[in-house]
Chain A
Amino acid sequence: AQKVTQAQTEISVVEKEDVTLDCVYETRDTTYYLFWYKQPPSGELVFLIRRNSFDEQNEISGRYSWNFQKSTSSFNFTITASQVVDSAVYFCALSEARSGYSTLTFGKGTMLLVSP
């Protein structure tokens, strides 16, 4: 069975601090996909990034960056110079083949609180 672990339940930072959200996964598949989603207080999950298992290049998008390391089965997410609007619950997810179809296994999420 596949598994996604987000060990940090809640993180509190002050605006402008950098923060890293950890994600560790387990899978026996050689081809898989990892995702990060953001859930702001409004409730709707928003897709942030997808990474396939063959692409270990780090990705940067503005203040967001992702570090994928197959050797440690980790896909960590860093927010640089955090802002109050970054306050949300962040979920890491792993694609899984179930009955021949693709589903996502989610971690339990990390709540990020950014205070002014």
Chain B
Amino acid sequence: DVKVTQSSRYLVKRTGEKVFLECVQDMDHENMFWYRQDPGLGLRLIYFSYDVKMKEKGDIPEGYSVSREKKERFSLILESASTNQTSMYLCASSFGQPSYEQYFGPGTRLTVT
């Protein structure tokens, strides 16, 4: 079974804090993705990575950065958290070809106060 794990299910941070969200997959997938999910807006792609140390901006990269130092791990970084970054964050991974489905982690519900 494919396993995508995220470091926390729930996280509460203060405005201005630096926040790290970690994601690990165990299926040797080339691609990894970070989404945020908000009511009425569906899933929006923040960043994705197609290889170690490689990254591409998604639809809403502002205020975020990412790091992929190892193939199995993809980190999302909020340099200075703001209240409008309160959201559900979902990590996913897949093989490289477009025909392959993405496998999702359980999500991290981040609240910034």
Contacts and interface: CB of A to CB of B under 8 A. Distances in A.
B91 to A, nearest CB: 11
B107 A44 contact: yes
A57 interface: no
Contacts of A108: 40-42
A103 B92 CA distance: 11
A107 B100 CA distance: 18
Interface string A95-111: 10111011110111100
Interface in A1-46: 9, 32-33, 35, 37, 42-46
Contacts of A99: 56
Interface in B67-113: 88, 90, 92, 94, 96-107, 109
A95 B88 contact: no
Interface residues of A, number: 26
Given A33-B98, A101-B50, A101-B56, A47 B103 contact: yes
Contacts of A102: 31, 94, 96-98, 100
Contact of A52 (B48, B99, B105): B99
B45 interface: yes
Contact of A91 (B42, B88, B105): B42
Contact of A106 (B42, B94, B105): B42
A43 B106 contact: yes
B45 A103 contact: yes
A108 B100 CA distance: 21
A41 to B, nearest CB: 12
A93 to B, nearest CB: 8
Interface of A: 9, 32-33, 35, 37, 42-47, 50, 52, 91, 95, 97-99, 101-104, 106-109
Interface of B: 31, 33, 40-43, 45, 48, 50, 56, 58, 88, 90, 92, 94, 96-107, 109
6 contacts: A9-B40, A43-B107, A44-B104, A99-B56, A102-B97, A108-B40
Closest 7 CB pairs of A and B: A102-B98, A108-B42, A45-B104, A106-B43, A95-B98, A47-B101, A43-B107
